[in-house]
Structure 1
Amino acid sequence: MSKKKKVLFLCTGNSCRSQMAEGFARTMAQDKWDVFSAGTAPVGVNPRAVQVMAEVGIDISGQKSKAIDPEILNSADVVVTLCGDAYESCPLTPPTVKRIHWPLEDPARATGTEEEIMAKFRAVRDEIKKRVAELLATLED
């Protein structure tokens, strides 16, 4: 029995994008992967992220916004950065860690009416779902 692979999703606040990616990866990978998320400057989980994930049947309300754990970072098989700031400020990782960057817009910075803001959250959520599915498919043994 081989040990489970680890994937870590990183963004700045660990409030939206990385939380949604963690939720999708946990659901899609089931028990094949250990899934983590963290932020370079964690600020708490965004309630709109919780809401749009619930719309697709994934509950991330119990997830917490976390700082980067060096042990997880250095033992991960894959680290995915979801914003430019995390990509630029992510600590060095061993050469064994595969690094992937997804330059996704931060839905927390969306402006406009509540409907327009929620539309941005849903668009980013759907893009993350697609990318997580593709990532897991390419990483399967």
Structure 2
Amino acid sequence: MNQRKKTVLFLCSANAARSQMAEALLRHRAGTMFTALSAGTHPEQPDPRALALLSEAGIAIEGLRSKSTAQLPTQQFDFVISLCDQASQVCRKNSALAEQFIAWDLADPAKSDHPLAFQHTLALLQQKIDAFIEAHSSVQQAYAAPPHPTQVFKLLGDPIRLACMRMIFAKGELCVCEMMSALNASQPKVSRHLAQLRQAGLLLDRRQGQWVFYQLHPLLPEWVKTVLHSLPEEQTKN
């Protein structure tokens, strides 16, 4: 039986460069697995430099157009990936937009004076999208059974693990270094707790350079997300 393709929305302010490139890249690299779309909070026309770069790389640009969030389908997306802080704020205010939010805060190449700004942005997007594809291509096989409620509540009974889960739920994806700073805790200590959450099937991780990034497992039961969403912010701090 063929599995339903996951829907991914890339969101940035102008929907002119970053999100256009991300949409085209995901279609090019994993169009059989994902349906990719993009939109902007304040859309402008697609930047011709981004389109030209995609064409030079052999990536199809047919169908790419700038659109606002108001023009999106009424469906809920499986993933919304924000590419700037402004788009991330929109995501947080619209919790019904997606099953899972991921934040990739990339500088806008159109505002850079660097002659290779667009090339650097495309290369960074390629790395992130390849990691995204790799993490989710085998996720069904890796998730044999959902975690038992008793195990979940036991894990969340620790203040550090609870804080990590709540921060990841709020931000979409965080690296170990960000959680170390927020918790004022050592890398081994934070990593040990995150490993326990990952082994229990609550988190999914990916490595980028020397750091490991964590996000909620895409198949995490909805009741776990409901618990995390209902917790007051002060209850997540140790």
Question: What does 1:12-23 correspond to in 2, within 5 Å?
Answer: 12-23=13-24
- Judge conservation of contact 1:80–1:100 (CA < 8 Å) in 2: yes
Q: Matches of 1:52 and 1:18 in 2, distance apart?
A: 14
- Judge conservation of contact 1:50–1:59 (CA < 8 Å) in 2: no
Shift of 1:96: 6.1
Partner in structure 1 of residue 181 of structure 2: none
Partner in structure 1 of residue 108 of structure 2: 106
Partner in structure 2 of residue 87 of structure 1: 88
Q: Matches of 1:95 and 1:32 in 2, distance apart?
A: 20
Of structures 1 and 2, the larger Rg is shown by 2
- Judge conservation of contact 2:80–2:98 (CA < 8 Å) in 1: no
Q: Matches of 2:97 and 2:122 in 1, distance apart?
A: 30
Q: Matches of 2:126 and 2:46 in 1, distance apart?
A: 18
Q: Which deviations, in whole Å up to 9, do the C-alpha atoms of 1:38-78 show, x marking residues without a partner?
A: 11111010001011112211132541001111524xx1111
TM-score by length of 2: 0.53
Q: Which deviations, in whole Å up to 9, do the C-alpha atoms of 1:84-115 show, x marking residues without a partner?
A: 1111123412396111000101001012xxxx
Going from structure 1 to structure 2, the CA distance change for 1:121 and 1:61 (only over 3 Å counts) comes to farther
Partner in structure 1 of residue 119 of structure 2: 122
Q: Matches of 2:100 and 2:39 in 1, distance apart?
A: 17
Q: Matches of 1:76 and 1:24 in 2, distance apart?
A: 18
Partner amino acid, structure 2, of 1:101: A
Partner amino acid, structure 1, of 2:84: C
| Larger RCO, structures 1/2 (Cα 8 Å, 6+ apart) | 1
Partner in structure 2 of residue 54 of structure 1: 55
Partner in structure 1 of residue 74 of structure 2: 71
Partner in structure 1 of residue 10 of structure 2: 9
Q: Which deviations, in whole Å up to 9, do the C-alpha atoms of 1:12-37 show, x marking residues without a partner?
A: 01000000000100011122211111
**Seq. identity, %:** 34
Q: Matches of 1:29 and 1:129 in 2, distance apart?
A: 12
TM-score by length of 1: 0.87
Partner amino acid, structure 2, of 1:71: T
* Structure 1: gaps (5+ residues): none
- Judge conservation of contact 1:6–1:35 (CA < 8 Å) in 2: yes
Q: CA RMSD in A?
A: 1.7
Partner in structure 2 of residue 29 of structure 1: 30
Q: Which aligned runs of 4 or more in structure 1 are off by greater than 2 angstroms?
A: 93-96
Which of the pair is proportionally richer in helix?
2
